[in-house]
C-alpha cells in the first residue's frame, strides 16, 4: 500500500488519499481500521452523504444561474456545517456547469472564468470528493460535438449509444474528469430509444433499446473496472414512471435490475406533490417520495440502492420556493427510508447554527442504523392513502417513522422488523408534527390526519435521542366528516351547501379526475411564466352572500402539476347559524370529474 499522486494504491485499485485523511479524523475509523479498499463489495461500501447544489440554482424552471461564486459559497457552508457536526463525503456539481460547445470538456464562461480548478482544489483540501452531472446521451443545453454527429437521431436531440462516435468520446470524457479528481458521476436524461435515421428504418424500437442499454452497461462496467473507487448514480431515463403516485403498477417503464451492476443508486424522482391531498402542501411532497421508494422496493431495488432525492431547500422554482419549510420532517423521512446515498440539495446557508446541530444529531442517530442495522418498510402504499412507515433496527433497539396520509385519526401498528428483534414496548416519541399529540401504546401509535412521527424503542427510547416538534406542520387534534354532498354546478364545477360546524374550522378537500375516471393532474406551467395552482384548482365559499376567506397552501407555480385542492375556513370567519356554500372549480378546458369532501377540524 502506498500514496502516489494523491491516491491510495492498494493492489490494482486507486482510492483518494482524502479517504485516508477522513479516516484519520474519525476515532471510530481508527479503532476499526475500516478501509473501503479492503472490502469485497463491488459497489457502494458504506452509506455516504452528498451535497448537491441544484435548487440553490435552477436553470430549468427558474432563472437562477450556476456560477463559481455560488458553488464556492456553498462549499464554505459545507465547512461551516462541518464545524457544527454535519458530515458530507461528496459535493455533486449538478447540471449546466459545462460550455455548450465543448463536449463536456470545458466549463461555461463567464460563470466559471478560470474553469473548475479552484472548486476541485478546495474540495480536495477539505476532504470532500467532487462529482459532476452529465446529460448522458441527450442534448440538454449542449451542442453535438463533431465526434457525436454520426450518432445523432433524426430529430437531432439525442445520440445512439451503439452507432457512431458518441459513446467512445463520452467515456473518454468521463476518464478525463476522473483523472482530474472527479469521483462521483451523475447520469441524467438517458434516452435509450435514440438511434440514427438508418437504424430507425431497419430496427424495431425494442432492438434499439436493447442495443443502447447493452452498450452503455458494458461501457460503465469497463469504466468501473479501471476506476474502482468511483461512485455512479442514475437519474432520469433508467426506468420507473415518476410523474404521479396514481399511475399503474407494475411500471409501464420497468426498472432493469442490470443497472444495479454499475450504479450505486437509482433515483426515484425529484420532489413534487403526490396525488394525496394534504392541507400542508409539503406533507403531500413527502408522501410522493415515500410512495416512489415503496414502488422501487416492490420492483426489487434494495432500499440501500434507492435515492429518493427528496431533500431540497431553496428559493427557486424547482422546489416551489420552499426555502426551509418543514425541513425537519423532510430530513428525517430521507434517512428513515434506508438509502445509502443521502443527498442534500440547495442553500445550506438557510440553516442557522442551531438547525445545523439538529441536522448533525439526526446524522449521528442514524449512522449506526444505516451502517450496521437494517431498514424495512411496513403498512400500506402511500399513494393509495394507506398509513405506512419505515423501521430501522440494530441489536440495541429500533426507530420507526410512521405517516398517516388519511383525513382521519388512525391507529397504526409498528410491526416486528425481524424475528431476532425484541417486541416493541415502552416506546418514546422522538419527533412529531405540532398539534395532535401521538402516544405509543406497545407496538401501536395513533396519529392525527396527515401526521408523521418518529418513535424510538430500546436504547433509542432514551431522552438523548429526542428531536422535538415540527412547529410549521400543524395537525388538528380532532377531525370528523360533515354531512354534505357535492353536486355538479356548471362546467368543471361542484358545489355543496352545509350547516357550519358547531366548533372548529371547516376543511375542504377535492380531487380531480379525467373523463376516464383516473386521477388527473393540471399542468399550467412552472416558474417563471406558469400559472399558480390556486387559479387553476380553485376553492371558494360564501355565507349569506358574503365571500369567506379560504386558507390554502398549494397556491404555487408547480412544474410537476397537481391533481387536488385543500383549504380551510377558520371558525372566526363564519357565523354558526347560516348555511355555507362551497364551490370547487377546475380551469381545465376539457371536461373533468371533481370529487369533494368536507370536514370539521379542531386544533
Residue 110: pLDDT over 50: yes
pLDDT of residue 41: 80
- Summarize pLDDT for 560-572 with one digit per residue, the tens: 999 999 999 999 9
Average pLDDT, the chain: 94
DSSP, collapsed to helix, strand or coil, labels residue 125 as helix
CA 481 to chain CA centroid, nearest Å: 32
pLDDT of residue 36: 80
Distance between CA 498 and CA 512 in Å, rounded?
21
What average pLDDT score do residues 555-584 get? 96
pLDDT of residue 21: 41
pLDDT of residue 43: 86
**Distant-in-sequence, close-in-space partners of 209: CB < 8 Å, separation ≥ 6:** 192, 193
Nearest to 212 by CA among 243, 258, 155, 156: 258
Distance between CA 348 and CA 368 in Å, rounded?
25
- The domain segmentation of the chain, as residue ranges, is 1-40, 41-371, 379-475, 480-602
Whether 67 and 53 have beta carbons less than 8 Å apart is answered as no
Report CA dihedral (92, 95, 98, 100) to the nearest 10 degrees: 170
Distances (CA, A) of 314 to 68, 319, 387: 18, 7, 29
Residue 208: pLDDT over 80: yes
CATH number of 41-371: 3.20.20.70
Nearest to 232 by CA among 268, 269, 188, 263: 263
Task: Using pLDDT thresholds of 50, 70 and 90, give the confidence band for residue 531.
Answer: very high
Residue 29: pLDDT over 60: no
pLDDT of residue 528: 87
Residue 4: pLDDT over 70: no
Task: Using pLDDT thresholds of 50, 70 and 90, give the confidence band for residue 24.
Answer: very low
C-alpha cell at 411: 391507529
**% of the chain residues with pLDDT over 90:** 91
Give the CATH class of 480-602.
mainly beta
Distance between CA 304 and CA 46 in Å, rounded?
10
**Distant-in-sequence, close-in-space partners of 201: CB < 8 Å, separation ≥ 6:** none
What average pLDDT score do residues 511-531 get? 95
Most confident of 8-22, 28-42, 305-319: 305-319
What average pLDDT score do residues 369-379 get? 95
pLDDT of residue 457: 98
In the chain the first and final C-alpha atoms are separated, in Å, by 63
What average pLDDT score do residues 498-526 get? 96
pLDDT of residue 557: 97
DSSP, collapsed to helix, strand or coil, labels residue 374 as strand
What average pLDDT score do residues 33-51 get? 86
DSSP, collapsed to helix, strand or coil, labels residue 291 as helix
Task: Using pLDDT thresholds of 50, 70 and 90, give the confidence band for residue 3.
Answer: very low
Instruction: Tell me which residue has cell 436493447.
Output: 210
40 CB neighbour count, 10 Å cutoff? 5
Distance between CA 264 and CA 44 in Å, rounded?
6
What average pLDDT score do residues 368-386 get? 96
What average pLDDT score do residues 153-159 get? 98
Q: Checking phi first, is residue 521 left (phi over 0); if not, alpha (psi -120 to 50) or beta?
A: beta
Nearest to 141 by CA among 191, 112, 104: 104
**Distant-in-sequence, close-in-space partners of 97: CB < 8 Å, separation ≥ 6:** 66, 107, 108, 112, 116, 132, 133
Task: Using pLDDT thresholds of 50, 70 and 90, give the confidence band for residue 32.
Answer: low
Model pTM score? 0.94
**% of the chain residues with pLDDT over 70:** 95
What average pLDDT score do residues 77-98 get? 98
pLDDT of residue 22: 42
- Summarize pLDDT for 61-83 with one digit per residue, the tens: 999 999 999 999 999 999 999 99
Q: CATH assignment of 379-475, given 3.20.20.210, 4.10.1240.10, 2.60.40.1180, 3.40.50.970?
A: 2.60.40.1180
Task: Using pLDDT thresholds of 50, 70 and 90, give the confidence band for residue 585.
Answer: very high
Distance between CA 83 and CA 45 in Å, rounded?
26
Total residue length of the chain: 603
3-state helix, strand, coil in the chain (%, to 5): 30, 30, 45
- Summarize pLDDT for 462-510 with one digit per residue, the tens: 999 999 999 999 999 999 999 999 999 999 999 999 999 999 999 999 9
Question: 54 — phi, psi (to 5°)?
Answer: -65, 140
Nearest to 182 by CA among 102, 111, 90, 263: 90
Task: Using pLDDT thresholds of 50, 70 and 90, give the confidence band for residue 577.
Answer: confident
Amino acid at each position: 500500500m502506498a500514496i502516489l499522486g494523491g491516491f491510495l494504491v492498494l493492489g490494482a485499485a486507486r482510492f483518494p488519499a482524502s479517504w485516508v485523511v477522513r479516516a484519520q479524523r474519525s476515532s471510530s475509523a481508527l479503532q476499526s481500521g475500516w478501509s473501503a479498499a479492503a472490502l469485497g463489495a463491488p459497489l457502494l461500501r458504506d452509506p455516504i452523504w452528498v451535497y448537491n447544489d441544484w435548487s440553490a440554482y435552477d436553470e430549468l424552471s427558474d432563472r437562477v444561474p450556476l456560477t463559481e461564486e455560488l458553488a464556492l459559497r456553498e462549499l464554505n457552508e459545507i465547512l461551516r456545517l462541518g464545524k457544527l457536526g454535519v458530515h458530507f463525503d461528496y459535493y455533486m456539481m449538478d447540471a449546466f456547469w459545462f460550455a455548450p460547445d465543448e463536449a463536456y470538456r470545458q466549463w461555461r464562461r463567464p460563470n466559471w472564468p478560470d474553469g473548475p480548478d479552484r472548486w476541485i482544489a478546495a474540495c480536495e483540501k477539505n476532504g470532500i470528493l467532487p462529482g459532476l452531472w452529465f446529460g448522458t446521451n441527450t442534448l440538454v443545453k449542449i451542442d453535438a460535438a463533431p465526434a457525436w454527429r454520426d450518432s445523432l437521431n433524426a430529430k437531432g436531440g439525442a445520440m445512439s449509444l451503439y452507432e457512431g462516435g458518441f459513446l467512445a468520446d463520452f467515456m473518454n470524457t468521463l476518464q478525463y474528469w476522473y483523472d482530474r479528481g472527479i469521483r462521483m458521476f451523475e447520469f441524467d436524461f438517458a434516452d435509450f430509444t435514440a438511434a440514427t435515421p438508418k437504424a430507425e428504418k431497419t430496427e424495431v424500437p425494442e432492438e434499439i433499446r436493447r442495443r443502447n442499454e447493452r452498450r452503455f452497461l458494458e461501457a460503465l462496467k469497463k469504466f468501473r473496472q479501471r476506476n474502482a473507487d468511483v461512485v455512479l448514480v442514475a437519474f432520469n431515463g433508467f426506468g420507473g414512471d415518476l410523474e404521479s403516485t396514481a399511475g399503474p403498477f407494475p411500471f409501464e417503464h420497468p426498472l432493469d435490475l442490470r443497472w444495479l451492476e454499475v450504479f450505486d443508486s437509482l433515483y426515484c424522482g425529484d420532489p413534487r406533490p403526490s396525488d394525496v391531498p394534504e392541507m400542508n402542501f409539503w406533507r403531500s411532497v413527502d408522501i410522493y417520495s415515500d410512495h416512489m421508494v415503496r414502488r422501487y422496493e416492490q420492483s426489487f431495488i434494495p432500499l440501500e440502492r434507492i435515492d429518493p432525492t427528496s431533500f431540497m431547500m431553496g428559493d427557486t422554482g424547482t422546489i416551489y420556493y420552499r426555502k426551509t419549510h418543514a425541513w425537519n420532517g423532510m430530513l428525517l423521512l430521507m434517512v428513515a427510508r434506508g438509502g445509502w446515498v443521502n443527498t442534500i440539495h440547495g442553500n445550506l446557508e438557510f440553516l442557522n447554527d442551531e438547525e445545523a446541530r439538529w441536522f448533525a444529531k439526526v446524522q449521528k442517530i442514524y449512522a449506526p442504523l444505516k451502517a450496521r442495522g437494517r431498514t424495512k418498510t411496513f403498512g400500506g402504499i402511500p399513494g393509495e392513502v394507506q398509513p405506512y412507515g419505515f423501521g430501522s433496527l440494530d441489536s440495541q433497539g429500533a426507530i420507526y417513522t410512521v405517516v398517516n396520509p388519511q383525513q382521519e385519526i388512525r391507529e397504526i401498528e409498528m410491526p416486528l422488523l425481524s424475528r431476532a428483534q425484541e417486541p416493541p414496548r415502552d416506546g418514546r416519541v422522538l419527533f412529531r408534527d405540532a398539534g395532535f399529540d401521538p402516544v405509543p401504546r406497545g407496538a401501536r401509535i395513533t396519529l392525527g390526519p396527515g401526521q408523521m412521527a418518529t418513535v424510538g424503542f430500546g436504547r433509542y427510547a432514551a431522552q438523548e435521542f429526542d428531536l422535538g416538534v415540527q412547529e410549521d406542520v400543524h395537525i388538528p387534534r380532532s377531525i370528523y366528516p360533515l354531512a354534505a354532498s357535492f353536486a355538479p354546478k356548471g362546467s368543471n364545477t361542484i358545489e355543496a351547501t352545509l350547516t357550519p360546524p358547531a366548533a372548529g374550522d371547516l376543511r375542504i378537500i377535492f380531487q380531480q379526475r379525467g373523463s376516464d375516471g383516473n386521477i388527473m393532474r393540471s399542468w399550467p406551467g412552472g416558474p417563471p411564466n406558469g400559472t399558480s395552482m390556486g387559479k387553476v384548482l380553485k376553492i371558494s365559499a360564501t355565507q349569506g352572500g358574503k365571500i369567506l376567506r379560504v386558507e390554502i397552501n398549494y397556491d404555487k407555480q408547480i412544474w410537476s402539476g397537481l391533481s387536488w385542492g385543500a383549504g380551510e375556513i377558520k371558525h372566526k370567519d363564519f357565523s354558526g347559524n347560516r348555511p355555507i356554500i362551497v364551490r370547487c372549480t377546475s380551469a381545465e378546458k376539457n371536461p373533468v370529474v371533481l370529487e369533494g369532501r368536507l370536514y370539521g377540524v379542531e386544533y
